[in-house]
Structure 1
C-alpha cells in the first residue's frame, strides 16, 4: 500500500494578488483524536469569497497562516477508533471554512454531511455555499408564489445560475441582469429575460415582463446597481444584497426608500448557519444534493486544476468572463 502524500495550499499574509501569496507545501497531519476522521479531498472550488479572504476583504477572516478553500467534497480514508456513525470510504461534504485546498483534511465526524456515492463529486463540491445561498435568497426574504417574477443582477455568476434553476423549479420567472452584452450568453438556461444593466433598466424590465409587479430584487453588485434594481420593483418591494462585485456600497435613493417603500436588507450565509437548526440544514442540503445528483441543478465548470497548479488556478479564478467555475482536484480527477 502506497504511503499518502499530504500537501496543502497555504498563505502566511494577505494582499491584493492572491496567486502571489498562496504556496503549496508538504505537511504531516496530526494523529486522529477521538471523534475525528481523515478525509481525502476529491474536489474544492475557488469562490469569490475565497479570493476575498486572501486579500483581506471578506467579513470573516481566519488567523494566519491559513489553508485556502471554504468548501469541498471528500472521501473518508481513516476514522478514529469507536466511530460507528461514519465509515471509511464514505463520501462527505466538508465543513465550511476548514481549508479544503489540500490533499487531505482532518475533521470531526459530526461536522461532516454524509453524501451518496452517486453524483459528480465536482458538482457536489460546490454544494455548501452557492446553492444554499440561492435557495435561501428565493425562499426566506419574500413569500413568493408560483408565477411571480424575480429580478437579479450578476446573473451570470455561480449564485445567479443557481437562482435561475431553482426559481424555474418553483414556477418563478426571472429577469436576469448582467453588466456587459457578452455576458448574456453565460446566463443559465431557463432564464425568462436577460438584460444588460443601464440607467433605463426599470423601463426595459417593465417591457420584458408586461409590467409585472416584482417584489424581490437580488443584488450582488452594490453601488448604483442596487438602486437600479429598486427602480424595477413594485412599491413595497425588497432588495436583498449578498455581495459587492462592483466594489462600492449599496446606493438607494430617497425616492425608493420614502415614496416607494422599498426595503434594503443583507444576506450572509454564515449568519444563517449560526441561526439555523441541524434539521433545517439537513433538509436544505438534502434537497439540493438530490437535485445535483439527479442533474437538475448544476454549475458550469471552466477548468479543473491540480493542487500544484494553484497559482494558475487562482489567476484564472480572478478573471472575469470565464463561463464557469474554477475547481481544484487535489488528488487528480475523481472517478
Structure 2
C-alpha cells in the first residue's frame, strides 16, 4: 500500500528540492505501532534540515519535517497497553511530513485528550524549549526580568505566556509595530522595536531591576542589544540564529558586567536527560495547554498537495504557525 510524503533527494532551498511523492506505507514490526498523521508543523529548523545546515541531518532521500501529532492506527505483534485511536506524538525521526510512520510502542508520547489537536501539533519543540529556557538555565525568582528577541515566534509567544504563569516579567523585541498590542494581549509586560535604542531606557522599563536572562534566537545587533541590557551577572542563552549576522564579541560586558553566554538545543537536552525528563517537561506543557495558560495561534493548515503554498505562506509576516495535513 502506498502513502504520500513530502521528500527531498538533495539539500537546498525547500521550494526547489521538495517533492510530493508516493512511498510504501510502513508496517509495524514486533513491539511497534503505526501512527497516522493528523497535523504536522512547519518550523524554522525544518528549513535547516532541508538545506543541509542543521545540527543533525537525515540520510537522503529524506522525508521533511520534525514535528507532528497523530493517532495510533495499527499494532505490531506483542504490543499491549496501547489502544487504537490514542493520540500521540508523530514519530519525527524519519520525517513528519508523511501520512504515517512506525515507532516502538515503548517510545510513544501520549497527548492528553483535553489538548486540542492543533495545539498538540505544535507542542513538541517550541513550548518545551521555552519551558527549559525559563526553568533550566538560570534560577529565576518571581518578579525577575527576562528579555527575548523574536517575541512573535512560537518560542517567543510560549515564553510570554509561561513567564506570566511563573510570575516573571518580560521584555519582547519585535521588528514590526503591529505586533506590539497582540503580544501585550498575550501577557507581555513590555514590547520594544528592534533598532529603537531601547537598551538605553531598560532601567525605566524594569523600574531599576536588573535583567537576569536574555533569550536570543536571531543574532546580529539584536543579540548585542540584549547584552547591553543585561544586568550584572546576567546570562544570554542562544538557541537560534535567524539572520546569521556576525555578533561582535562583547569583551567589555564580559569583563565589567560579568555577563555569561551559553546555548541551548532541545534535541540535545532530550538525548542527555532521557525520555523520563522529556515526558516530565511535556506534562507541564500539556497542563498549561489544557487549562488555557498556554495557547499558541494557528495561521492556517494546508493539505500535502498544497505544500508549496504553505511554505510560501510561512515566509510571510504572520503571528501563527502554518500546519500541514495529508
Q: TM-score, normalised by structure 2?
A: 0.95
* Correspondences of 1:27-42 after superposition (within 5 Å): 27-42=23-38
Measure, in 2, the Cα distance between the counterparts of 1:180 and 1:118. 34
Q: Tell me which of 77, 98, 101 is aligned to 1:102.
A: 98
Tell me, which stretches of 5 or more residues in structure 2 are unaligned?
Answer: none
Q: Tell me which of 315, 318, 321 is aligned to 2:312.
A: 315
Q: Tell me which of 314, 324, 328 is aligned to 2:324.
A: 328
Matched, 1:266 2:257: no
Post-superposition CA distance 1:14-47 (Å, at most 9, x none): 11x3122211112222332111111110111100
Alignment match, 1:187:
183
Native 8 Å contact 1:76 1:88 kept in 2 = yes
Measure, in 1, the Cα distance between the counterparts of 2:92 and 2:4. 19
Native 8 Å contact 1:224 1:252 kept in 2 = no
CA apart distance, 1:296: 2.1
CA apart distance, 1:150: 0.6
Alignment match, 1:21:
17
Q: Tell me which of 89, 92, 95 is aligned to 2:88.
A: 92
SS in 2 for 1:225: helix
Native 8 Å contact 2:302 2:325 kept in 1 = yes
Alignment match, 1:222:
219
Alignment match, 2:290:
293
Give the 4+ runs in structure 1 shifted more than 4 A: none
Measure, in 1, the Cα distance between the counterparts of 2:86 and 2:224. 47
Measure, in 2, the Cα distance between the counterparts of 1:213 and 1:118. 39
Alignment match, 1:333:
none
Measure, in 2, the Cα distance between the counterparts of 1:318 and 1:64. 25
Measure, in 2, the Cα distance between the counterparts of 1:154 and 1:10. 29
Native 8 Å contact 2:145 2:171 kept in 1 = yes
> CA 1:180/1:278 → structure 2, altered by over 3 Å: closer, same or farther?
same
Post-superposition CA distance 1:52-94 (Å, at most 9, x none): 2111222211111100110111000100122013111111112
Q: CA RMSD in A?
A: 1.6
Alignment match, 1:144:
140
Measure, in 2, the Cα distance between the counterparts of 1:267 and 1:304. 29
Native 8 Å contact 1:199 1:228 kept in 2 = no
Native 8 Å contact 2:162 2:293 kept in 1 = no
**Greater relative contact order (CA < 8 Å, ≥ 6 in sequence):** 1
Alignment match, 2:123:
127
Measure, in 2, the Cα distance between the counterparts of 1:7 and 1:108. 22
CA apart distance, 1:220: 0.8
SS in 2 for 1:276: helix
Matched, 1:114 2:110: yes
CA apart distance, 1:199: 6.2
Native 8 Å contact 1:224 1:250 kept in 2 = yes
Q: Tell me which of 229, 233, 237 is aligned to 1:236.
A: 233
Measure, in 2, the Cα distance between the counterparts of 1:298 and 1:32. 34
Native 8 Å contact 1:96 1:128 kept in 2 = no
Native 8 Å contact 1:226 1:252 kept in 2 = no
- Which structure carries more helix by proportion? 2
Alignment match, 1:10:
7
Q: TM-score, normalised by structure 1?
A: 0.93
